[in-house]
């Protein structure tokens, strides 16, 4: 258990790093899938954010207990819960909706297996969002991100309610991992490390741009390739290490909270906030969605900063990822078509 004393220490540190001083009227944030392995630690981290005045938790089961538990954390954020299959009340009126709902990856599970279940979860969410609150910023954590973000956008598009600036696929965990590994390689505090990450959010589609890292990496191409592989396979490493008892829940929750904090800061008017996310994109021909560094603003994505300058090795990796991304995107689009959404 986390003691009250420890929470008093953690809350201001987290707030100082990812959140500016908040106004009296804070934001309303909803977590869909709040009782799950990612949802619970994510909700705790969001409860510590002083920019959030109301935190709404939704899940099919167990969410009353999670809400009661978090209500004892000594911050002024109001806790509200919603349960059952209908999450319209939880979404209606929220400024930001964060979606970690769905099943986690298990050993031996393919991305297609994961998609079969989670696509329906995200589809149902998008239908409700289109009807009740299409103006909210949605942060999609549910995997496979490469395919389910297109599901959300296609549903909203068919309903005539899509604002692509506001649908963010959370590929932030790839950035977090790259920063950690860069810190280890350069003996630098990871919070002072930065690596742009582009592509997508699965295996070979994850492309850390070491050529633009800060601090700079002075490694051979072979060692850089090994480091890239480590980022790409980090999720699998966690799944194996947990021996079938879970996936990367804690680091995912941390990464999602970091992105949410940054989104809220930008919504309040803070400038020069850049995060890499998987979004609807016209940056690269033939790819409707792509993860790139984004300048965040009051309405979500203010400017897509694109791929930027990349070296020959990174170009090869990116070109190799294009076909995989196209397949993933098509999978999401075809799923929505099969639903005959009008």
pLDDT one-digit tens code per residue, 146-172 = 999 999 999 999 999 999 999 999 999
The pLDDT value recorded for residue 236 is 87
The pLDDT value recorded for residue 1 is 45
In sequence order, what are the residues at sequence separation of 6 or more whose Cβ sits closer than 8 angstroms to the Cβ of residue 33? 39, 58, 59, 99, 100, 101, 102, 121, 142
Nearest to 267 by CA among 169, 165, 179, 172: 165
In sequence order, what are the residues at sequence separation of 6 or more whose Cβ sits closer than 8 angstroms to the Cβ of residue 327? none
Bridge partners of 291, per DSSP, are: 199, 278
The pLDDT value recorded for residue 239 is 86
d(CA 164, CA 160): 12
The pLDDT value recorded for residue 17 is 36
Cα 112-158-85 angle, rounded to 5 deg:
60
The pLDDT value recorded for residue 110 is 64
Instruction: Enumerate domains of the chain plus CATH numbers.
Output: 24-169 (3.40.50.720), 172-331 (3.90.110.10)
Mean pLDDT by 10 residues, the chain (342 residues): 48 38 72 97 98 97 96 96 94 98 77 85 97 98 97 98 98 97 94 96 96 92 94 91 89 97 97 97 96 98 96 96 97 92 50
The pLDDT value recorded for residue 111 is 64
The pLDDT value recorded for residue 304 is 98
- Quote helix, strand, coil % in the chain, to nearest 5: 50, 20, 35
For residues 161 and 147, the answer to whether their CB atoms sit within 8 Å is no
How is 92-106 classified by DSSP, letter by letter? TT-SEEEE--SPPP-
Nearest to 115 by CA among 279, 301, 327: 327
Catalytically annotated residues:
201
Tokens of 267: 């919504």
């Amino acid at each position: 258990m986390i003691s009250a004393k420890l929470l008093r220490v953690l809350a201001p540190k987290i707030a100082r790093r990812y959140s500016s001083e908040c106004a009296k009227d804070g934001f309303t944030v909803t977590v869909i899938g709040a009782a799950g392995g990612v949802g619970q630690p994510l909700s705790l981290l969001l409860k510590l954010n002083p920019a959030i005045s109301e935190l709404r938790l939704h899940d099919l089961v167990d969410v009353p207990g999670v809400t009661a538990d978090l209500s004892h954390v000594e911050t002024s954020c109001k806790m509200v819960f919603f349960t059952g299959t209908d999450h319209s009340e939880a979404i209606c009126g929220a400024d930001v909706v964060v979606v970690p709902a769905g099943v986690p990856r298990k050993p031996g599970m393919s991305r297609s297996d994961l998609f079969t279940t989670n696509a329906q979860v995200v589809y149902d969410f998008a239908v409700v969002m289109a009807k009740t609150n299409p103006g909210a910023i949605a942060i999609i954590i549910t995997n496979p991100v490469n395919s389910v973000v297109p599901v959300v956008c296609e549903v909203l598009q068919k309903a005539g309610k899509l604002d692509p600036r506001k649908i963010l696929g959370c590929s932030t965990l790839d950035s977090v991992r790259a920063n950690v590994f860069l810190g280890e390689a350069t003996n630098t505090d990871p919070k002072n490390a930065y690596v742009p990450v582009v592509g997508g959010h699965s295996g070979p589609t994850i492309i850390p741009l070491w050529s633009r890292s800060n601090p700079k990496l002075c490694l051979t191409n072979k060692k850089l390739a090994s480091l890239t592989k480590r980022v790409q396979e980090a999720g699998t490493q966690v799944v194996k290490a947990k021996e079938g008892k879970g996936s990367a829940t804690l680091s995912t929750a941390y990464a999602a909270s970091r992105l949410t904090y940054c989104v809220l800061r930008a919504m309040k008017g803070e400038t020069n906030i850049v995060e890499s996310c998987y979004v609807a994109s016209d940056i690269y021909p033939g790819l409707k969605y792509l993860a790139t560094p984004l300048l965040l603003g009051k309405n979500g994505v203010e400017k897509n900063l694109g791929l930027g300058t990349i070296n020959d090795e990174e170009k090869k990796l990116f070109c190799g990822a294009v076909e995989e991304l196209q397949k993933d995107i098509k999978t999401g689009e075809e799923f929505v078509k099969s639903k005959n959404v009008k």
